[in-house]
Structure 1
Amino acid sequence: METNYKNAASVTFPSDPKNLRIAESLIDDVCHAHNIHEDHYGNILIAVTEAVNNAIFHGNLNDVQKSVSVDSKIENNQLQFIISDSGLGFDYHNLPDPTAPENIEKETGRGIFLMKSLADKVEFKNNGAKVLLTFTIGK
Structure 2
Amino acid sequence: MADFTFRTSLKSTHDEATKVPDFVSDIQDKASLSDDETSTFMLLLSEAVDNAIEHGNQYDANKNVSVDIVISKSEIVAKVTDEGKGFDTEVSTSRNPLDEENLLNTGGRGIFIIKELSDSLEFLNNGSTLQFKISRES
Name the TM-score, length of structure 1 as normaliser.
Answer: 0.89
- Deviation string 1:115-139 (CA, Å, 9 cap, x unpaired) is 0111111111001100111111133
Deviations 1:59-118 (A, max 9, x none): 000000100011101235111111000001111111222111011122221000000111
RMSD over aligned CA atoms reads 1.6
Supply the distance in 1 between the matched residues of 2:87 and 2:32 (Cα, whole angstroms).
Answer: 35
Whether the 8 Å CA contact 1:80–1:135 is kept in 2: the answer is: yes
Q: Is the 8 A contact 2:3 2:73 kept in 1?
A: no
Which of residues 5, 10, 15 in structure 1 aligns to 2:7? 10
- Deviant stretches of 4+, over 6 Å: none
Could you tell me which amino acid in structure 2 is paired with residue 14 of structure 1?
A: K
Task: Pick the structure with more helix per residue.
Answer: 2
State the TM-score, normalized to the length of structure 2: 0.90
Identity %: 30
**Mind listing any 5+ residue stretches in structure 1 that lack a counterpart?**
none
The count of corresponding residues between Structure 1 and Structure 2 is 135
The unaligned stretches of length 5 or more in structure 2 are none
Match of 1:128 in 2: 127
Q: Distance in 1 between matches of 2:111 and 2:9?
A: 21
Question: Are the counterparts in 2 of residues 50 and 115 from structure 1 also a CA contact under 8 Å?
Answer: yes
| Contact 1:11-1:71 within 8 A present in 2 as well | yes
SS in 1 for 2:89: coil
